Chain A
Amino acid sequence: MLSIRCPVCGPRDEDEFVFGGDASAVRPADPMACDDQAWTAFLYRRDNPAGPHDELWFHRFGCRRWLRVRRDTRSHAIVAPPLLAEDAGAP
């Protein structure tokens, strides 16, 4: 069971959250200007690291805000204090 420290609500169990995936996938500003490779890179390809991973979590049963969490995918340890996604500059 993960315990995620929400900046608004404090430490909460993982089942209050919804995983939102890789936070480093940034939607191209002008999709129409992308070639197929660039669009595929955004839409489908992932680094999928074994190690620290920046990811989005939605606090569904709490403040209903998006968080940006840095978590090690080998140990599940959260390696930096989670931030609100908007404060972290995440999309």
Chain B
Amino acid sequence: MARGYSLAALLRHALSGHRDWPAAWRMPEPKASYDVIIIGGGGHGLATAYYLAKNHGITNVAVLEKGWIGGGNTARNTTIIRSNYQQDGNARFYEHSVKLWEGLSRDLNFNVMFSQRGMINLFHTTAERDSWVRRYNSMRLNGIDAAVLGTAEIAALVPDLDLSPHGRHPVLGGVIQRRAGVARHDAVAWGFGRAADQRGVDIIQNCAVTGIVREGGRVVGVETTRGRILARKVASCVAGNSSRIGEMAGLRLPIESHLLQAMVSEPVKPFLNVVLSSGAHRVYVSQTDKGEVLIGGRLDGYNSYSQRGSLPVIEEIAAGAAALLPRLKRLRLMRSWAGLVDMTMDGSAIISKTPVEGFYLNGGWCYGGFKATPASGWCFAHLIANDAPHPLAERHRLDRFTTGHTINERGAGPAPHLH
């Protein structure tokens, strides 16, 4: 049975009423040991497994997921993909990610529905304008597409935006990254999972890691709810649970777990074909392919593992969205949800070896790790395979907090709520 998705396969399966499509991935029993165990079957864990197999020929790999793959933040995020970063370390890393996104559906033989509809960040004060223009100028120096927009250009792109001078925060202008966009979150987990499975990776769901087994200071395997599984390389990709896995390895990490919420309205006809964001209103808005208005904003603001957000924050975020796009006032919210984000103390991610030999850490994606999924897997697989950082992620070390080489995009002090 052909496993590739194609027009021919679609026609062939039409003859049998689409009833005999093969499962997209196997459901194997865990083996006694692997070369590499990846903890966490979100986008990052699955992408790491895929690139370990594809780029490095390492296929004796298991991805252990406590629930179902892609059920964590991968399924809860608002899917904005962009590379509008300024700092060395971040700028080229995220640009590499956008480039991987641009070829991802073809590479995975799975439509991740990457839609480069562009993202506009509005500014409302001259100070905000200066900082955005500076950032977008430095992007251009790094070869990343970036442009500054006046209000007339913004009005043409977003006719429903309130550009009156009487608003709470009148719009002065904005910046746009035209190659930015959105993708289908589930498809990213399923596409990487299926492609990794086809290269021999075992995806093991309903398998929670409960301990990291060490011998003489180095990792030799993990304890799980489905028994002990051995591996001399164990790599963590568990987002908001990073501190828990870190603790199992005897590490205290520079991370706090926080809630980030998002919500969708009832579906309406297309009226918004860019991603729109405003720092002053602390809100961003896009419209999904189903027509829902997808709205996100700030963290709830206190440590949590509950995956359940607080209503005042929803009210505040919805109010911000309605201030930008007054017509939203008449829509009803359909659903809201929260994800567990791993906030680092400088707002940048960690792709790193650790003081524990054989234990590798991928985490601290704060509230922006979806866009990083391909590059994160790419660089983490390189690190695991070679025991040396990928050049694009050599600044994302865990020990940067001790050596003083933090990557602080916002230029604020140590606080777990930066990005």
Chain A positions within 8 Å of B, measured between CB atoms, are 1-2, 13-15, 19, 21-22, 36-37, 40-41, 43-50, 53, 55, 71, 73-76
Q: Within 8 Å of chain A (Cβ to Cβ): is B328?
A: no
Chain B positions within 8 Å of A, measured between CB atoms, are 241, 243-244, 247, 252-257, 301-306, 308, 310-312, 345, 401-403, 414, 416
Question: Which residues of A lie under 8 Å from residue B303 when comparing CB positions?
Answer: 22, 48, 53, 55, 73
In this complex, the member of B247, B252, B414 whose beta carbon has the largest number of chain A beta carbons within 10 angstroms is B252
The answer to whether A43 touches B312, judged by C-beta atoms less than 8 angstroms apart, is no
Question: Which residues of B lie under 8 Å from residue A22 when comparing CB positions?
Answer: 256, 303
The answer to whether A45 touches B252, judged by C-beta atoms less than 8 angstroms apart, is yes
Tell me, rounded to whole Å, the shortest Cβ–Cβ distance linking A52 to chain B. 11
Tell me, rounded to whole Å, the shortest Cβ–Cβ distance linking B366 to chain A. 14
Question: Which residues of B lie under 8 Å from residue A36 when comparing CB positions?
Answer: 402-403
Distance between Cα atoms of A48 and B416 in the complex (Å): 11
The answer to whether A46 touches B312, judged by C-beta atoms less than 8 angstroms apart, is no
The answer to whether B403 touches A45, judged by C-beta atoms less than 8 angstroms apart, is no
Q: In the complex, which residue of chain A has the Cβ closest to the Cβ of B345?
A: A44
Question: Which residues of B lie under 8 Å from residue A47 when comparing CB positions?
Answer: 243, 247, 252
Tell me, rounded to whole Å, the shortest Cβ–Cβ distance linking B165 to chain A. 29
The answer to whether B401 touches A44, judged by C-beta atoms less than 8 angstroms apart, is yes
Distance between Cα atoms of A9 and B244 in the complex (Å): 36
Distance between Cα atoms of A37 and B355 in the complex (Å): 13
The answer to whether A75 touches B306, judged by C-beta atoms less than 8 angstroms apart, is yes
Distance between Cα atoms of A43 and B415 in the complex (Å): 9
Which of these, B305, B403, B414, contacts A50 with CB under 8 Å? B305
A-B contact pairs, 19 of them (CB 8 A): A1-B312, A2-B310, A14-B310, A19-B302, A21-B256, A21-B416, A36-B403, A43-B401, A46-B254, A46-B416, A47-B243, A47-B252, A48-B243, A48-B256, A49-B243, A55-B302, A55-B303, A73-B305, A73-B306
Distance between Cα atoms of A68 and B301 in the complex (Å): 16
Given A2-B310, A14-B312, A74-B306, does the pair A37, B402 have CB atoms closer than 8 Å?
yes
Question: Which residues of B lie under 8 Å from residue A48 when comparing CB positions?
Answer: 243, 253, 255-257, 303
Which of these, A15, A44, A76, contacts B306 with CB under 8 Å? A76
Distance between Cα atoms of A1 and B300 in the complex (Å): 10
Q: In the complex, which residue of chain A has the Cβ closest to the Cβ of B310?
A: A1
Distance between Cα atoms of A1 and B313 in the complex (Å): 9
The answer to whether B311 touches A50, judged by C-beta atoms less than 8 angstroms apart, is no
Closest 6 CB pairs of A and B: A44-B254, A48-B243, A19-B302, A50-B305, A44-B401, A40-B402
The answer to whether A73 touches B257, judged by C-beta atoms less than 8 angstroms apart, is yes
Question: Which residues of A lie under 8 Å from residue B244 when comparing CB positions?
Answer: 50
Distance between Cα atoms of A75 and B254 in the complex (Å): 23
Question: Which residues of A lie under 8 Å from residue B243 when comparing CB positions?
Answer: 46-49
Tell me, rounded to whole Å, the shortest Cβ–Cβ distance linking B46 to chain A. 24
Q: In the complex, which residue of chain B has the Cβ closest to the Cβ of A57?
A: B302
Question: Which residues of B lie under 8 Å from residue A21 when comparing CB positions?
Answer: 256, 416
Distance between Cα atoms of A44 and B84 in the complex (Å): 26
Distance between Cα atoms of A41 and B306 in the complex (Å): 26
Q: In the complex, which residue of chain A has the Cβ closest to the Cβ of B303?
A: A73
Distance between Cα atoms of A22 and B243 in the complex (Å): 14
Question: Which residues of B lie under 8 Å from residue A50 when comparing CB positions?
Answer: 241, 244, 257, 305
Given A55-B302, A74-B306, does the pair A45, B254 have CB atoms closer than 8 Å?
yes
Question: Which residues of B lie under 8 Å from residue A76 when comparing CB positions?
Answer: 304, 306, 308
Besides A1-B310, A21-B416, 10 other A-B contacts (C-beta < 8 A): A43-B401, A44-B345, A45-B252, A45-B254, A46-B416, A48-B257, A50-B241, A50-B257, A71-B302, A73-B257
The answer to whether B253 touches A45, judged by C-beta atoms less than 8 angstroms apart, is yes
Which of these, A13, A14, A43, contacts B345 with CB under 8 Å? A43
Question: Which residues of B lie under 8 Å from residue A46 when comparing CB positions?
Answer: 243, 252-256, 416
Distance between Cα atoms of A3 and B403 in the complex (Å): 41
Question: Which residues of A lie under 8 Å from residue B403 when comparing CB positions?
Answer: 36
Distance between Cα atoms of A48 and B303 in the complex (Å): 8
Q: In the complex, which residue of chain B has the Cβ closest to the Cβ of A50?
A: B305
Distance between Cα atoms of A30 and B247 in the complex (Å): 28
